[in-house]
């Protein structure tokens, strides 16, 4: 076994010490929320070059927060 395989097995162990261990699927809401966060950051950083008002970045940030919260609530069930 190479070092990366041993490390992956160690990370994915389930010995009862941690609440949830392992890899899980990423929902569409989580993926869209993460992309919206990146888009809001880019809109804020490039607002002078693009001419977009700050409210567009704020709206994108609000949508990102809502999508991430919705994805988190759906994953808890």
d(CA 48, CA 76): 40
Q: Determine the Cα–Cα distance for residues 33 and 68; give it in Å rounded to an integer.
A: 5
pLDDT tens digits, one per residue of 56-71:
889 999 999 999 898 8
- Between the alpha carbon of residue 65 and those of residues 5, 35, 75, the distances in Å are 35, 11, 15
Tokens of 23: 């890899």
Two structure tokens written together for 7: 């490390």
Q: How do residues 29-62 score in pLDDT, each as one tens digit?
A: 889 999 999 999 999 899 888 888 888 889 999 9
């Amino acid at each position: 076994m190479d070092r990366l395989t041993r490390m992956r097995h160690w990370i994915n162990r389930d010995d009862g010490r941690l609440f949830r261990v392992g890899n899980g699927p990423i929902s569409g809401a989580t993926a869209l929320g993460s992309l919206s966060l990146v888009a809001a950051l880019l809109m804020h950083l490039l607002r002078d070059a693009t001419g977009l008002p700050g409210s567009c970045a704020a709206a994108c940030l609000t949508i990102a927060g809502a999508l991430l919260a919705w994805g988190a609530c759906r994953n808890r069930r």
